[in-house]
Amino acid sequence: MACAPRCAGHSARPVQQVCRVSILEDRKPKSARGVGVMKPCCFWMTGLSGAGKTTLAHAMRERVNADGVVRLVVLDGDEVRASLCKDLGFSAADRQENSRRLAAMARLLVDAGLVVVVSAISPYRAARESARSAFVEGTFWEVHVATPLQTCMARDVKGLYRKAREGSLGNLTGVGADYEEPLTPDIRVLGEGDIHEAVSLLLDKLGLDLN
DSSP track, 40-85: --EEEEE--TTSSHHHHHHHHHHHHHHHTS--EEEEEHHHHHTTTT
How many angstroms separate the CA atoms of 86 and 44, rounded?
21
Burial class (CB in 10 A: 0-12, 13-18, 19+), 14: exposed
Q: Are 81 and 118 in contact (CB under 8 A)?
A: no
User: What is the C-alpha to C-alpha distance for residues 95 and 81, in angstroms, rounded to an integer?
Assistant: 10
Q: Of 185, 211, 181, 184, give the one whose Cα is nearest residue 199.
A: 211
User: How many CB atoms lie under 10 A from the CB of residue 13?
Assistant: 13
Of 83, 122, 130, 133, which one is the catalytic site residue? 122
Q: At what angle do helices 92-111 and 125-133 cross, to 10 degrees?
A: 30
Q: 61 burial class (0-12, 13-18, 19+ CB within 10 angstroms)?
A: middle
Known active-site residue 119: no
Beta carbons of 107 and 135 less than 8 angstroms apart:
yes
> Could you give the residue numbers annotated as active site?
122
